Structure 1
Amino acid sequence: MGSFVGHIVPGLALALLGLWHTINTIKSYLLKGHSNFTARFWYQLNTPQSSRLKHFQLVSLLAFSILAIFMQVLDFPHFHYAFKLDNFEHATMFIHLALFAGFALSTELTDSLNLFSGFVGIFASSVFSQELFLLHFHSTDHVGLEGHYHWLLQLIVLVSFVASLAATTFPNSFTSALVLSISVIFQGCWFINMGFNLWVPELVPKGCVMNSPMANENHMLGAVTCDTKEADSRARALANLQFSWILSTILIFAGILCLKLARRYTIADRLEYERLHNKCADSAMAGEGFKQPK
């Protein structure tokens, strides 16, 4: 992941995943209301063309995680086996993501999601807990400006971890589910921001220089080295501003999305949902009564 592509690709994936969850979380809350809302850690892709795509999110997460694990073990782009601790730490993060996607997909295929929904939440929480753990105790000693970017990343992951635990413990909490979705978007955007500011020479802050990969690997200098203390302080301050600006942009976007969806899903839509929900519940109760022996 120590490259431009290594930050952009997972960053885009996380940002799109968080956006998908944010839209569906708000939509579910508007349709179901406060009393019937339940936080979900994945959402079906409902298309009129085919029902086979409803597990698209879980299948994509599982496939992406397995591919990322192999790319880390084979040391992309060199494609040769090399026991590098940082690569295996990155691969371990994706292992936990694969475990979550695999277990959630299994519960869905076996119609046991209602029984093990809490366990699915535990798997989701483990993804963020291990990401935070491995980022904090990274074998690659990120120092200087790169270290500051990674420290800010840990703050975002910590919020994701706490929000996932809250959504597991209090599944009816819309706030926990929304904070989790927004924090995933923030993670993705911050990965992308790190890719541009640490791995594109033209965007490196004034007074700092981008290190070559060989120097970074041998001396653990970090992706960017600043010539003076003043330049380093200025670069860190710019990173702090970027952190605040990106968060503000995401929150503004989420607020606008809430208002737009609230106008789209009117009271009539909510009443229609409640009618269908009650009809399904009555049908299920009637089916159970029919199966009882006389």
Structure 2
Amino acid sequence: MGTLAGHLVPGSALALLGLWHIINTVRAYHLKGPNHFRTSLWHPFMSPSSKLAYMELFLIVSFSIFSIVMQVLDYPLFSFAFKLNNYEHATMFLHLAIYAGFTLITEMVQKTDIWFEVSGILAASVFGQELFLLHYHSADHVGLEGYYHWLMQLIVFVSLLSALSTTIFPSSFPSSLVLSISVVFQGLWFINMGFLLWVPELVPKGCTIRLGHGGDSDMHGAVMCGTHEAGLRARALANLQFSWILGGILIFVGFVCSFYPKKVTPRVQSIEYERLNSRVAEIPLSVAGFKPVNYQ
């Protein structure tokens, strides 16, 4: 993943997956309403009976296996040299393949929701292992590159919390939506890192790319800033990029939510309406047991 393509490909895949989940989560909440909404860890491309229903899970498994092979073969060198950082990246995709593979098998065989909690735990483990391996990465990311990776860990931490919350509270629309937003954020931040850390023309002013050579200890593509002021300016720009990307995602979510008009009546009102009807219906029964009395 220490190349521009190594950031763009997985970043684009994550961003598209997250956008797909945002659209389907909002759509499901609109159609089912707050009382019948239930989180789904995957969404069929067509009707559940279609052959393409499990396309999302098939794509995740296939992409994970492909990424593992590319990391083991040390793309673009295509050699079997044992590099710790490559195997750490491959391990992240391994947990993603385990989650998607288990969910795919259970959905195709069982076709019930009894394994939802297990799939939720596996989904949370994907983000947990990603956070663990990013935090204790064998490649010592320092300087501006290290700061970008630290901001990435914040996003992954939110994904982990929202995945656990979604598993515990499957009817929570906010948890499901935050999980989808965080996945998009991860993908777009990967893409942003690829451009800002691997394209020399886009490196912040006063900083340069230091291309490493040799063993795992080298900081491949580490961005080094010439002065302390240049480093502070580069980090400030990273903070702005972080906020701008999140703002763009939230604007997209707002447009998606506004696309569906409000049509669901809150459950509280329906309960009160039923109680009122039941009281009206009980009045004639209680009165019918008495005879009118005339006082003279």
Q: TM-score range by the shorter chain?
A: 0.7 to 0.9
Distance, in Å, in 1 between the alignment partners of 2:111 and 2:218 is 51
1:88–1:216 CA distance, 2 compared to 1 (3 A): closer
Cα deviation digits, residues 216-248 of structure 1 (max 9, x gap): 955437521111111011001100110011111
Mapped partners of 1:144, 1:215: distance in 2 = 20
Structure 1 stretches of 5 or more lacking a match?
269-294
User: What's the TM-score once normalised by structure 1's chain length?
Assistant: 0.87
Are the aligned partners of 1:28 and 1:37 in contact in 2 as well (CA < 8 Å)? yes
In 2, Cα distance between equivalents of 1:108 and 1:47:
14
Superposed, 1:92-241 pairs within 5 Å as: 92-214=91-213, 219-220=218-219, 223-241=222-240
Distance of 1:181 and 1:109 partners within structure 2: 24
Secondary structure, aligned partner of 2:78: coil
The answer to whether the 8 Å contact 1:143/1:222 transfers is: no
Kept in 2, the 8 Å contact 1:140–1:220? The answer is yes
Q: Work out the CA distance in 1 between the residues paired with 2:240 and 2:155.
A: 15
Preserved CA contact (<8 Å) 1:142 1:222 = no
> 2:11 corresponds to which letter in structure 1?
G
Cα offset, 1:2, TM superposition: 0.6
Higher normalized helix content (fraction of residues): 1
Match of 1:45 in 2: 45
Conserved 8 A contact 1:142-1:221: no
The structural deviation recorded for 1:47 is: 6.4
Deviation at residue 210 of structure 1 after TM alignment: 1.0
Quote the Cα distance in structure 1 between the aligned partners of 2:77 and 2:25.
40
Shift of 1:51: 1.6
Q: What TM-score, normalized to structure 2?
A: 0.86
Contact 2:18 2:180 in 1 (8 A): yes
Q: Which runs of 5+ in 2 are unaligned?
A: 266-296
2:3 maps to what in 1?
3
- 1:47 and 1:114 mapped to 2: Cα distance? 17
Alignment partner of 1:34: what SS?
coil
Change (3 A) 1:121 1:206: same
Give the partner amino acid of 1:226.
Answer: C
Q: What secondary structure is seen at the aligned counterpart in 1 of 2:29?
A: helix
The 2-side partners of 1:47 and 1:103 are apart by 21
Q: Distance in 2 between matches of 1:212 and 1:174?
A: 45
Q: Deviations over 1:168-216 (max 9, x none)?
A: 0000000000000000000000000000100001000000001124289
Counterpart-to-counterpart distance in 1, 2:218 and 2:105: 45
Runs of 4+ displaced beyond 3 Å: 215-219, 265-268
RMSD of aligned alpha carbons:
1.8
Residues 198 and 223 of structure 1 are in contact (CA less than 8 Å); yes or no, is this contact kept in structure 2? yes
Asked if 1 retains the 8 angstrom alpha-carbon contact of 2:197 and 2:221, the reply is no
In structure 1, distance between residues paired with 2:220 and 2:174 = 40
- Count residues with an aligned counterpart: 265
The superposition leaves residues 120-176 of structure 1 with CA deviations (integer Å, 9 ceiling, x where unpaired) of: 101100000000000000000100000000000000000000000000000000000
Distance in 2 between residues matched to 1:216 and 1:84, nearest whole Å: 8
Identity in percent: 59
Aligned to 1:31: 31
Alignment-mate amino acid for residue 86 of structure 1: N
The superposition leaves residues 22-53 of structure 1 with CA deviations (integer Å, 9 ceiling, x where unpaired) of 000000000000111001110001069x9211
SS of the residue corresponding to residue 225 of structure 1 reads strand
Letter in 2 for 1:12: S
1:240-291, Cα deviation, whole Å (9 max, x unpaired): 110011111111111111001x23x8569xxxxxxxxxxxxxxxxxxxxxxx
Which structure has the larger Rg over C-alpha atoms? 2
| Separation in 2, partners of 1:73, 1:97 | 16
CA gap 1:80/1:234 in 2 versus in 1, 3 angstroms: same
